[in-house]
A and B are shown apart, each in its own frame.
Chain A
Amino acid sequence: MPTPFYAPDFAAPVSSPWNSDQDETLRCVHIRQETHDVKTFVLAANGPRNFRYLPGQFLTLELEIGGEKINRCYTLSSTPTRPDLVSITVKRVPGGTVSNWLHDNVRVGMELGAMGPSGEFSCFKSPAKSYLFLSGGSGVTPLMSMARALHDLGSDADIVFVHCARTPADVLFAEELTLMARNMPHFRIALVCEQHTPGSNYAGHLGRLDAARLAHIAPDFMQRDVYTCGPAPFMAAVRGLLAGAGFDMPRYREESFSFETLVADAAHAPVNPEVAVENTEITYKIDLQKMGKSFTCPSDQTVLQASVAAGFRLPSSCSGGACGTCKTKKISGTVEMKHAGGIRQREIDQGWFLPCCSKPTSDIVMDR
């Protein structure tokens, strides 16, 4: 296999930051098999790029699977302190279209459409003295990114890093976590596995994370800023646990990392019915009348974003309501539009809108 390894010129000035508007693809340069069903895909830009992002943020991959365009968000497991590459760590999910496709099809040298990074889940947004990182399964990725960054930056942050997995064979990044704990004076790790794997030398906690176990692992958890990522039932359990203990919830932050994993894991995990209705997004149906096609748009996405996610390429350029390239007649429906001069009030009055800066507030029929 020809190696696509790209050695940056370390004597050259810092390369320009990666910009997903310009660098629309990333190239896989390395694949690591982390466990039997988890792979890390290491990605490079085409040409020297400086990846700048907040540890904990995610990328959106734009993939074409079975002739269909699919967008999927993946938290970066990499750290911006090693800026030449990014990585995502993906668990194979039974029935998961995208995760299985990534595992089965991505080869070194392949290009993947990518957008981002974006996301709000990062301890670098509101630094604290001490943290409790609670991860379930491959939800470890954003917390790993934060830990790697703090480690690389020589931080002496007080971190209790809890990683929960089904079995010791499913534990991710065990050796690296151990190394970071050795290098950082206030970094402690705790592993919690539901079951033992016969033959392993695992000596961590067995069972599930509950109040007693958390109090045992981190007796001062009430004083820590908590960051949680994992399957929805796991995060729901953590929320319940902390709220029950009287934790100051504004200092609790969580991230659902993969829709696919979330759904798949939820299917065979005990679901707390009180939690199931949370985070229900309103989505609207967008009809493209001339094309005779439709797609759904969550109320917190612009019509253009949703159309791109659904595989439609509507004309657009600035994505910010300035150029008006996406200007479209709205046959019916309502939107909340925040334009930047790309449309006139008269045009709005006549029914025109800019999909790039409009979030739906009802179903919409567009003249496209």
Chain B
Amino acid sequence: MTTTNATLSAQTLLTRELLARRRPGYSLEAPFYLSETILQTDMEHIFGKHWIFVAVEPQVPEAGDYITVDFGTNSILIVRDDDMNIQAFHNVCRHRGSRLCASQQGVVGNIVCPYHQWTYDLTGKLIHAKHMGDDFDPSGLGLKPVHIRNMAGLLFICLAENPPEDFEQMAAEMTPYIAPHQLSQCKVAAQIDIVEDCNWKLTMENNRECYHCMSNHPELTISLYEYGFGYQPNEDNKADLQRFQDIMAANHERWEGMGLPSAEIDTLDDRITGFRTQRLPIDRSGQSQTMNAEVASKKLLADFVDPALGGLSFWTQPNSWHHFMSDHIVSFTVLPISATKTLVRTTWCVHKDAVEGVDYTKENLTAVWNATNDQDRRLVEESQIGISTGAYQPGPYSPFTEGLVEKFCNWYVNRLSVLTR
């Protein structure tokens, strides 16, 4: 016990010292990206105590469908029960700890441990354990539940005993934005995992700015206006910036008139469950994030008739971003594997009645983000290598284009400061 306390305390002291030294407006110090000790702190306090985006509802469309989500040393089982409720459990048998479901997705009747066939129903209750004697009481041996919330089709879990209550506030504000796209009426058309050799925060920080977009993302910037995330005005871009502002104003008015909330909400660093949203115009035809900015799926979502609905962007702390368009939804979840390895899971959803090969092709649907993800992977891995050389010291953020990176870091530092106090 003494050793553990000493270790914990060293970890806490290190974290506290680094947090206290953090200079606002500057990137984080190297140990935040390199240290396994800091990663343990991240897993305990950031991924252990906040709402984590892990999946979309169409991943478990029918009763008995399950997925598993692994991050850090956690394995979480998400399953739709017979009453069509979505449940989440630790994917660990109460007998001798075997992982219950090894696959990333599948179908179960009940949840059966492959080791000794202890069987749990889909509410987590232990309903069968052979050879345990007549005095055996299964009532205290149900699966350990994990908090889960379904926000208009986006599934968030929280490992904390008492999850942050302001999730409900986010849900109240965000549901009107997301619900019109009817994610629950979609199917997963593609899901691709990539592993980036970098700390998860580099992945997130890279996502929170478009400073790098024009030079690195030729495919993405076909449809994406780089101005949507902040830009330093100058004489050369003055006209373009003004044009973007005009397009935004006109489109917001049009979309709001169609019942699609579009205005920016930004609580990225002033709430425990921080988030930001804004419906952004799409360049050219204004339809979708594809190689020609036109819809990837001819079967539009929900009851949409107008394909030019721009892209509703939704960013959550600490680990996700999403783009809701008229024809498809693309969601990203970032899950740490270790201090220097990070899983980025991208999920593309289309209307459940859209027919592959007829209404859409997987290749066209995924082209932009496959290219962009690969480019981003290279960028963050180069950052990780540079930071690891030892020559790195925190550099200043652009006040124009890196405001959201600063908010990510600010949220992270504030949350850890409160929780490790």
Which chain A residue shows the least CB distance to B112?
Answer: A323
Most chain A CB neighbours (cut-off 10 Å) among B82, B130, B134: B130
Q: Is the interface of B mostly helix, strand, loop or mixed?
A: loop
A315 — nearest CB in chain B belongs to which residue? B117
Instruction: Tell me whether A69 is interfacial, beta carbon within 8 Å.
Output: no
Given contacts A318-B119, A344-B64, contact A324 B109 (CB under 8 A): yes
Query: Given A317-B117, A339-B109, A341-B110, are A16 and B63 also a contact pair (CB < 8 Å)?
Result: no
Chain B 134-150, CB-CB to A under 8 Å as 1, else 0, gives 11000000000000000
Query: Given the interface contacts A317-B117, A317-B119, A344-B63, does A322 sit within 8 Å of B107 by beta carbon?
Result: no
Given A16-B134, A318-B119, A323-B112: A344 touches B107 (CB 8 Å cut-off): yes
A22 vs B129: C-alpha distance in the bound complex, in angstroms? 11
The contact string, 1 if C-beta is below 8 Å from chain B, for chain A 14-29, is 0011010110000000
- Range of interface residues on chain B? 20 to 34
Supposing A318-B119, A323-B119 touch, asked if A16 and B135 sit within 8 A by C-beta, the answer is: yes
The smallest beta-carbon distance between B158 and chain A, in angstroms, is 28
Contacts of B109 in A (CB 8 A): 322, 324, 339, 341-344, 347
In the complex the two chains form, is B62's CB within 8 Å of A346's CB? yes
B107 touches A346 (CB 8 A): yes
Contacts of A340 in B (CB 8 A): 127
By the criterion CB–CB under 8 Å, are A21 and B131 in contact?
Answer: yes
Closest to B63 in A: A344
A317 touches B128 (CB 8 A): yes
Bound-complex Cα distance A342 to B107 (A): 11
A305 in contact (CB, < 8 A)? no
Check A318–B121 contact: CB distance below 8 A.
no
Q: Which of chain B's residues have a CB closer than 8 A to the CB of A346?
A: 62, 64, 107
B383 to chain A, nearest CB (A): 46
Any A CB within 8 A of the CB of B133: yes
Q: Which residues of B contact A324 (CB under 8 A)?
A: 108-110, 112
With known contacts A324-B110, A343-B109, A344-B107, A318–B133 Cβ distance under 8 A: no
Interface residue A311 (Cβ < 8 Å from any Cβ of B): no
Q: Which residues of B contact A339 (CB under 8 A)?
A: 109
Residues from chain B with Cβ under 8 Å of A343 in the complex: 109
Q: Are B128 and A322 in contact (CB under 8 A)?
A: yes
| B110 engages A323 (CB within 8 Å) | yes
How long is the Cα–Cα vector from A16 to B131 in the complex, in angstroms?
Answer: 13
Within 8 Å by CB of A317, from B63, B82, B122, B130, lies B130
Interface presence of A320 (CB below 8 A): yes
A21 touches B110 (CB 8 A): no
Residues A12-56 near B (CB distance < 8 A): 16-17, 19, 21-22
Contact indicator B117/A16 (Cβ below 8 Å)? no
A325 in contact (CB, < 8 A): yes
Specify which chain B residues have a CB less than 8 angstroms from the CB of A323 in the assembled complex. Answer: 110, 112, 117, 119, 128
Residues on B with beta carbons closer than 8 Å to the beta carbon of A19: 134
Question: A318-B117, A325-B117, A342-B110 are known contacts. Are A16 and B133 too (CB-CB below 8 A)?
Answer: yes
Please indicate the chain B residues that have their CB under 8 angstroms from the CB of A320 in the complex: 128
A325 touches B133 (CB 8 A): no
Residue from A22, A317, A323, A339 having most chain B Cβ neighbours under 10 A: A323
**Residues in A neighbouring B112, C-beta threshold 8 A:** 317, 323-325, 342
Chain B 368-396: CB-based contact to A (< 8 A → 1; otherwise 0): 00000000000000000000000000000
CB neighbors of A among B51-75 (8 A): 62-64
Q: Say how far A304's CB is from chain B's closest CB, in angstroms.
A: 14
User: Which of chain B's residues have a CB closer than 8 A to the CB of A21?
Assistant: 130-131
CB closest residue in chain B, given A319? B130
B135 closest partner in A (C-beta): A16
The B-contacting residues of A in range 304-329, CB under 8 angstroms, are 317-318, 320, 322-325
Tell whether A322 pairs with B110 under 8 Å between CB atoms, given A16-B134, A22-B131, A341-B121: yes
* Alpha-carbon separation in the docked complex, A320 to B110 (Å): 12
Q: A17 touching B134 by the CB < 8 A rule?
A: yes
CB under 8 Å from chain B, chain A span 249-289: none
In angstroms, Cα B110 to Cα A15, docked, is 33
Q: Determine the distance from Cα of A340 to Cα of B112 in the docked complex, in whole angstroms.
A: 13
CA gap between A274 and B384 in the complex, in Å: 91
Whole-angstrom distance between the Cβ of B60 and the nearest chain A Cβ: 13
Contact assessment for A322 and B64 in the assembled complex, using a CB-CB cutoff below 8 Å = no
Residues of A within 8 A of B128 (CB): 317-318, 320, 322-323
For B128, the closest partner residue in chain A by CB is: A318
- Which of chain A's residues have a CB closer than 8 A to the CB of B134? 16-17, 19
- Give residues of chain B (29-79) contacting chain A, Cβ–Cβ below 8 Å: 62-64
CA distance A346 to B133 in the complex (A): 34
In order of increasing CB-CB distance, the 8 nearest A-B pairs are: A317-B117, A323-B119, A318-B128, A342-B109, A344-B64, A343-B109, A323-B112, A324-B109
Beyond A318-B130, A344-B109, 20 additional pairs, beta carbon < 8 A: A16-B133, A16-B135, A17-B134, A317-B112, A317-B117, A317-B130, A320-B128, A322-B109, A323-B128, A324-B110, A339-B109, A341-B82, A341-B110, A341-B121, A344-B63, A344-B107, A344-B108, A346-B62, A346-B64, A347-B109
Residues of A within 8 A of B (CB): 16-17, 19, 21-22, 317-318, 320, 322-325, 339-344, 346-347
Sample of 22 A–B contacts (CB below 8 Å)? A16-B133, A17-B134, A19-B134, A317-B130, A318-B130, A320-B128, A322-B119, A322-B128, A323-B112, A323-B117, A323-B119, A323-B128, A324-B109, A340-B127, A341-B109, A342-B112, A342-B119, A344-B107, A346-B62, A346-B64, A346-B107, A347-B109
